[in-house]
Amino acid sequence: MSSREDIPADERLPAVETVRGQALDAGIQAGKESDFSISEDRLNDISLRPMFYTTKTYYVLTIILALIVAWGAACWGYQIVMGMGVTDLRHPVFWGLYISAFVFWVGVSHSGTMVSSILRLSKANWRRPILRGAEAMTVFSLLVAGLFPVIHVGRLWRIYYMFPLPNQRELWVNFRSPLAWDMAAIFVYLTSAFIFLFVGLLPDIALARDYCPAKNWRKGYLKFLALGWRGSHRQWIVYEKVSLYLAIFILMIAPSVHTIVSWDFAMSITPNWHTSIFGPYFVVGAIYSGIAGVITLMVTLRWIFNLDEIIRVTHLTNLSKVLLLMSIMWGYFYFTEFITSWYGNNPTETAIWRWQTDRFGPMLFTMLGINIFSIAALAFDSVRKSPGKLFVIGILVNVAMFIERYLIVVPVLTHRDNPFTWTDYIPSFVESSIAVAAMAWFLLLYALFVKILPIVTVSDIREGNALSCDMAFGNRHIRVHGDAEE
């Protein structure tokens, strides 16, 4: 193979430093939305700023969220003492707002690990700044989702029956119970997601440890959590291998978890639930709501912590393209669910659809209208490049997906095949308070996480800088990405 010296001078590609200098002199900002050419000290300062600098607004919001969570905990305690009669859950509606919220939060949890693992395996370079926020969202969503089966049981002291373990009376759990499936699925997914998040945090925890002042209260736990990370060559090799294997494992676990959640419905003989399409339909809906949640949180982090230099418009634009794809897929699956029921012409299922349109018409058309609006809006490049518009779309999409979960559960149970059991269901004040407190609990966990651990994947961004540069081809400068093995 010829060396660089053997190539004539006029045929050699210019050095990276030369290209950058020429581009700067010409006023060209090649790849300005994905070029993290800022200095290392500046990158560290921006990335660790949320941990060490706190505003009054943060304290006010945190206190408000804590008060809402405390109110929800009080309502839960009241429900435990007084019994499930304080809710509107009664025959034949034994599943209501609690199970709807459970399915919603499990769906939101699919965003982080699946997006992170898919983008990592596909080596999408733009993924790097959004990984940490998305992965943390997965863990906190699962912590919220895991509460609802416990709340739904009512008798908290019998929660051990839901775990797949023999109890003190040598009785095995009922493996035909959907509650047992949910607990097993959440436990496996939460454990793997937590490990995935912690492994990715290791280099950045070590960075925060080294930059943390000696007398700062964070120094102790950062030193403990860093596990002696020094950034040696051997540690980085192991880190890359473990990250790759965990990404593959998560990619297999995540779809199976929401498929199990869909089995809570599909394995029954209840009309409109007993269908094989629920598995992929739930998975697509989960990714749809999860991507919308990631966009909402990324825009929020940009605004609150001034991370515009890290979480850039190009990242939000790429996420919005994924959201557009998932909105189209979700619309297709919802249409397929309806068209199969219409074609089958089952009198019971037809009656349920009519009941859903009559009684829950405003919610149904709101859900469908938001989905159509998101597809139409995201088709425009100007919308995909506007953080404010994407924030609104992300909120609307998750509102629509919560309505969708509610419409899966409630209309079917209130309008079963036996007319003598037809009834209505409106969530009680206790149920609504707990559902709102669950949202506040998620936001509070996120707010606390931002203050104790790095929210930006500094190590991944540095890796992206090392593997990318601007090269001159004719009169254009093009962003070029390499591979770690090259």
DSSP alpha helix (H) spans, 154-177: none
Contact 4, 12 (CB under 8 A): yes
Query: pLDDT below 50 — which residues of the chain?
Result: 1-7, 9-14, 16, 19, 23, 26-35, 466-468, 481-486
- Would you state the pLDDT for residue 70? 96
Ramachandran region of residue 227, left (φ > 0), alpha (ψ -120 to 50) or beta? Answer: left
Residue 438, CA distances (Å) to 70, 73, 334, 468 in order? 11, 10, 27, 42
> Which pLDDT tens digit goes with each residue over 102-132?
999 988 887 677 777 777 777 666 777 778 8
- At position 68, the amino acid (one-letter code) is I
At 71 the pLDDT is 96
- Residue-wise burial string across 207-232, b where 16 or more C-beta atoms lie within 10 A, e elsewhere: bbbebbeeeeebeeebeebbeebeee
Give the domain ranges of the chain.
Answer: 12-152+188-481
Task: Determine phi and psi for 483, rounding to 5 degrees.
Answer: -125, 150
Q: Return the structure tokens found at 13.
A: 């590609």
Let me know the angle formed at the C-alpha of 417 by 416 and 419, rounded to the nearest 5 degrees: 85
Quote the pLDDT of residue 314: 84
CA atoms of 307 and 303, how far apart (whole Å): 7
Tell me if 133 sits within 8 A of 301, measured CB to CB.
yes
Other C-beta atoms closer than 10 Å to the C-beta of 191 total: 12
The per-residue pLDDT for 232 is 82
What is the structure's pLDDT at 464? 52
How far is 410 from 355, CA to CA, in rounded Å? 11
pLDDT at 32 (0 to 100) = 46
- Total Cβ atoms within 10 A of residue 94: 11
Task: Tokens 């290392």: give the residue.
Answer: 40
Q: Provide the residue type at 23 as one letter.
A: A
What are 443's two structure tokens?
A: 């936001």
Q: Name residues whose C-beta falls within 8 Å of residue 474's C-beta, 6 or more positions apart in sequence.
A: none
Smallest Cα–Cα separation from 140: which of 444, 486, 353, 463?
A: 444
pTM of the model: 0.82
Is residue 472 classed as helix, strand or coil in its secondary structure?
strand
Residue where the block lists tokens 């980085």: 236
How far, in whole angstroms, is CA 482 from its chain's centroid? 29
Q: Identify each DSSP E strand in 31-87 by its residue range.
A: none
Give the count of beta carbons closer than 10 Å to the beta carbon of residue 447: 15
User: Which pair of tokens denotes residue 147?
Assistant: 């509460």
Residue 450 CB neighbour total at 10 angstroms: 20
Name the amino acid, one letter, at 469.
C
The pLDDT value recorded for residue 52 is: 81
